[in-house]
Amino acid sequence: MRVLLERHYGYLFEPELLDEIEANGKCKLIKQGERLLDIGQEITVMPLIFSGAIKILREDDQGDELLLYFIEKGDTCAMTFSCCLGSGKSEIRAIAESDTELLMIPIEKMDEWMAKYQSWREFILDSYHTRMSELLETIDTLAFMKMDERIMKYLKDRAMVTNDDIIYSTHQDVARDLHTSRVVVSRLLKSLEREGKIELSRNHIKVLAL
């Protein structure tokens, strides 16, 4: 664990904080597609990601999902800490975008370290800022982009966080993340393929225009 901490967070945190993280954290491996956190679930831990990526989703009253953003190695999701300051219940869903190795930190340590370590406080505040910027970008995408542009941005974002230009998803998976219909996604994916931006195969999409 210490080697991973040093590699991914050693440049951020002082040795004393790394010691506490090592003493209190538990390593966990989440397989692709596995749910890490669900809406309404009590939050007891916060993740520090060593490798892989996690997608964060919101759900409406009808049970339809919308992708908010991705978190990847070297990140955390300050939204979990924010939820704990309120009801302690999650308002988001977190699913592994790829096989993900992470460290689970007990939520009660968050506030303690915020007061004790400036590096941790800056890390959490920077995470808030990054997540807020990504939420604003999501709003801009919904408000100002056409659906084909949204699909292309979504595919590029997934390729970036997984470091793989092949996206292993069905058209229905893409439609679910973007809160639209499979018919619309299939039509626009075909159009993007004709434009030479992607290459379609059974159950995966290759991104050509990165």
The residue ranges of every structural domain in the chain are 2-143, 147-207
Q: Helix count (H) and strand count (E) of the chain? A: 8, 10
Question: In this predicted model, what pLDDT tens digit does every residue of 10-48 receive, in sequence order?
Answer: 899 999 999 999 999 999 999 999 999 998 888 888 899
How much is the pLDDT for 91? 84
26 class by beta-carbon count within 10 Å (0-12 exposed, 13-18 middle, 19+ buried): exposed
Q: Cα dist. 81→25, 54, 89 in Å? A: 16, 16, 10
How much is the pLDDT for 17? 96
How much is the pLDDT for 209? 78
How much is the pLDDT for 82? 63
Helix or strand (DSSP H, E) at 145: none
Per CATH, which fold does 147-207 belong to?
Answer: Arc Repressor Mutant, subunit A (1.10.10)
Burial string for 157-169 (b: 16+ CB within 10 Å, else e) reads: bbbebbeebebeb
**How much is the CA Rg of the chain, to the nearest whole Å?**
18
How much is the pLDDT for 63? 82
The residues of the chain scoring below 50 in pLDDT are none
Least Cα distance to 12 among 159, 152, 126, 165 occurs for 126
How much is the pLDDT for 203? 85
Burial string for 132-147 (b: 16+ CB within 10 Å, else e) reads: eebeeebeebeeeeee
Per CATH, which fold does 2-143 belong to?
Answer: Jelly Rolls (2.60.120)
Q: How far apart are the first and last CA of the chain?
A: 34
Can you tell me the distance from the alpha carbon of 113 to that of 21, in angstroms, rounded to the nearest whole number?
Answer: 10
